Amino acid sequence: MTGAEHAAAAIAQAIRASGAIVRVPPHEFLNILGRQQEPLVVYATGGLFKRNYQYLTSYKGLAFYTKSGEPITLPAVAEVVQARRIWVPG
């Protein structure tokens, strides 16, 4: 398993444990990242006909997810792990 796959697996395990993924708009996702000293962000691109950018992080025991049509400028202190894919139920 690669580093990205390990990070995605860790977040997936946290999601299974907590049972919740909170979908937020990109601006709110950035606000959540701003509350952390060194946030971990899992990032992937997706889309069938139009490319989208997907981001996942955890904060205070919850997993936060956002999707954007354009790349989001993440804080310089963020540790970014690129995944092949992020799957979010529903």
Structural domains for the chain: 3-82 (3.30.720.90)
Q: List the structure tokens of 17.
A: 């444990």
Instruction: Dump pLDDT digits (tens) for 13-67.
Output: 766 655 678 999 999 999 999 999 999 999 999 888 999 999 999 999 889 999 9
pLDDT at 5 over 90: no
Token pair listed for 60: 């205070």
Q: What is the pLDDT of residue 80?
A: 96
pLDDT tier at 10 (50, 70, 90 boundaries)? Answer: confident
The pTM of this model reads 0.78
- What span, in angstroms and rounded, lies between the C-alpha atoms of 87 and 80? 17
Identify the pLDDT of residue 19.
62
Length in residues, the chain:
90
